[in-house]
Structure 1
Amino acid sequence: MPAAALDLKGSWQQGSLVTGQVEPGTQVWFKDRALRVSPQGNFVFGLDRDEPVEVEVELRWQGRGDTTPQARRYAVAPRPWNIQRIDGLPQDKVEPPTAVTARIEREQALLNAARDRDTTGQGWRQGFAWAATGRISGVFGNQRILNGIPKQPHYGVDVAVPVGTPIRAPADGIVSLAEPDLYFTGGTLMIDHGHGVHSIMVHLSALKIGVGEPVRQGEVVALSGKTGRATGPHLHWGIGWFRSRVDPQTLLPPMPAQRR
């Protein structure tokens, strides 16, 4: 049978979001996941920070009556991450106390439930806007190894802004999580942009919207803060596709120049 039509756009490197277009009715798989395809044939998937060097997209073209899968392989460019090793720290500064282990596990389940949503929303197709503007104080992908223990990589971009700065929805969506006081992230808000794509904004001082409420790009949804495990006021903003982490800066225009 002839090859099924497939148009993919995005950067084939770790931490990127790839969007696609197929003939309506075509089924698409990525990493053994059947992707949600819109009635118009649009779909999206994310390349994780640690994505392997080759991935496979599989199509099944129903329009011609032949459902034989077609597999297409793509190379993924690795990115150089900044790895910092720090030894000799007091152990209570490296691992959380056992007394909060159950709390951390409960909160992780909440976060994962929001990440696992697969809805029909189309906010991911808009093009993303900065949730806050200011000096970029942290970038995606960096990681610390403390006393030989690898800690979670930095899965977002940090914007240094004063406490109380309005935080705006980067794209249309539905609020999927709104928690004022999580152990690591403090005030935490997640927005479901559809098809598994979501934003997470953390260390917030106030939430302006609740779970299940629709938001429009540019709408104020929270105020920045330094809650949770934060050493100073800033917005940490991450983007994900299900449980794959994506670099927000790959989806954004340059940070607007700041007035002095």
Structure 2
Amino acid sequence: MISYRVAPFLLLIISACVPQSAPLDSAGDVSQAEVVQPVRAPLPAATAAPTAPVPARAAVFTFAGELTQGGWIRGEAPAGAVRVTMDGVPVSLDGQGRFFAAFDRDAGPSATLDAVLADGRTVRSPLAVASRDWNIERINVARRPSGASEAFLRVRRPELSAIGAARSRVTDATGWQQDFIWPVKGRISGRFGSQRIYRGEPGSYHTGIDITSGTSGTPYVAPADGVVVLAVDDFSLEGKLLILDHGNGLNSAFLHSSRLYVTEGETVRQGQHIGDIGSSGRATGPHLHWGLKWNHARLDPLLFTGPMG
């Protein structure tokens, strides 16, 4: 497998720090802010050993990644941060103040990172999120009624409940810190975000990326370290479904497998063989559907791996 690194990282340093005597508004926000222009530099690596010296953190947010719909950022909170949110949603910090956050396929043009410091000050960093031109196909026919039968819903509801519970599990996985690799090489037969619009009525967009090798049984591997939070054989739509938690709210789902090689609760490493491509569930042919989510945001796997090469 080829590991694609986003390098050089675009390191954005945006400061909303002011002297401690700066006035705060009623919400605890700083009333004065300074924005520092982006610079290019590698993101510092995490310190694995607990006894290793930890570099001093900056007084501002530092991060790198893909500031676009379906994209992600990874970085460090300002020194002294005790709580971080993005648009009001809590963002987890590890012991070194590192964080991961991401932007939904339909994210708006801006987002805001806020850090509350131990001394009560607030650091606020506005982000500009680039829009994307999705592959939209306009069909001049009416959309077919999509109402599901009650018999199907009786089967589907507990499946959706199990998927939701798995995605909400919190583990100690640290794969979110890694540069992701492709789980398998092959032809991309379906791209993230593509959508059909039927006489003005939008259908559901494609929530992941489809990769086909042409045959069933082709092995695929873990794109990053993780903990298996769901491994099932016979869901109505997904077939054999595997979900890996990568930590900090980030998880991968692999659909339509012909065989799974890991079980729930197991820790897996990047590059480990975890399943084989298949056409189980509702699939028209053998392929791997790989979907990524951060909390409730759906993400583009291509922005984690780069071109397949």
Shared fold (TM-score, shorter chain, > 0.5): yes
**Match of residue 166 from structure 1:** 219
2:240 paired with 1:184 = no
Aligned position for 2:5: none
Task: Indicate which of 74, 80, 102 corresponds to 2:133.
Answer: 80
Using the size of structure 2 for normalisation, the TM-score is: 0.76
Q: Deviations over 1:55-82 (max 9, x none)?
A: 11111122xx2x1333222111111112
1:64-213 to 2 correspondences below 5 Å: 65=119, 67-86=120-139, 87-88=141-142, 91=145, 94-145=146-197, 150-161=202-213, 162-213=215-266
Shift, 1:102, TM fit: 2.5
| Structure 2 letter corresponding to 1:104 | R
Compare 81-90 and 196-205 and name the one that shifted more: 81-90
Larger-gyration structure (1/2): 2
Q: Distance in 2 between matches of 1:151 and 1:210?
A: 34
**Does residue 275 of structure 2 align to residue 218 of structure 1?**
no
Alpha-carbon distance, 1:88 to partner: 4.9
CA distance in 1, matches of 2:144, 2:97: 54
1:95 and 1:81 map into 2 onto residues whose CA distance is 26
How far, CA to CA, are the matches of 2:199 and 2:216 in structure 1? Answer: 32
- Whether contact under 8 Å (1:24, 1:39) holds in the other structure is no
SS at match of 2:233: strand
- Secondary structure in structure 2 of the residue aligned to 1:236: strand
Q: Give the equivalent residue in structure 2 for 1:37.
A: 93
Q: Is the Cα–Cα contact under 8 Å of residues 60 and 79 in structure 2 kept in the other structure?
A: no
* C-alpha contact 2:69 2:104 (8 A) present in aligned 1: yes
Q: Does 1:254 align with 2:307?
A: yes
Which residue identity does 2:237 align to in structure 1?
F
> Contact 1:116 / 1:243 at 8 angstroms: preserved in 2?
no
Question: What is the DSSP-based 3-state SS (H/G/I as helix, E as strand, rest coil) of the residue aligned with 1:251?
Answer: helix
Match of 2:69 among 14, 39, 42: 14
Q: Deviations over 1:148-201 (max 9, x none)?
A: 653321111111121111110111110011111111111110000100111110
Give, in angstroms, the shift of residue 145 of structure 1: 3.7
Mark the runs of 5 or more structure 2 residues left unpaired by the alignment: 1-17, 20-32, 34-58
* 8 Å Cα contact 1:115-1:243 kept in structure 2: no
Aligned-pair RMSD on alpha carbons? Answer: 1.9
Gaps of 5+ in 1: none
Q: Percent identity?
A: 39
CA distance 1:177–1:149, shift in 2 (3 Å): farther
Alpha-carbon offset, residue 207 of structure 1: 1.1
| 8 Å Cα contact 1:200-1:238 kept in structure 2 | yes
Match of 1:47 in 2: 103
DSSP 3-state at the match of 2:253: strand
Distance in 2 of aligned mates of 1:105 and 1:146: 27
79-88 or 206-215: which moved more?
A: 79-88
2:149 is matched by which residue type in structure 1? P
Q: 1:134 to 1:22 in 2, by over 3 A?
A: same
Which deviates more, 11-20 or 74-83? 74-83
Q: Counterparts of 2:153 and 2:197 in 1: how far apart (Å)?
A: 20
Cα separation, 2, equivalents of 1:206 and 1:95? 31
Q: Which amino acid aligns with 2:117?
A: W
TM value normalised by structure 1: 0.89
The amino acid across from 1:133 in the alignment is K
Name the SS of the counterpart of 1:217 in structure 2: coil
Aligned residues, how many? 251
Distance 1:89 1:119 in 2: 41
Cα displacement (A) at 1:254: 2.1
Partners of 1:53 and 1:6 in 2: CA distance: 19
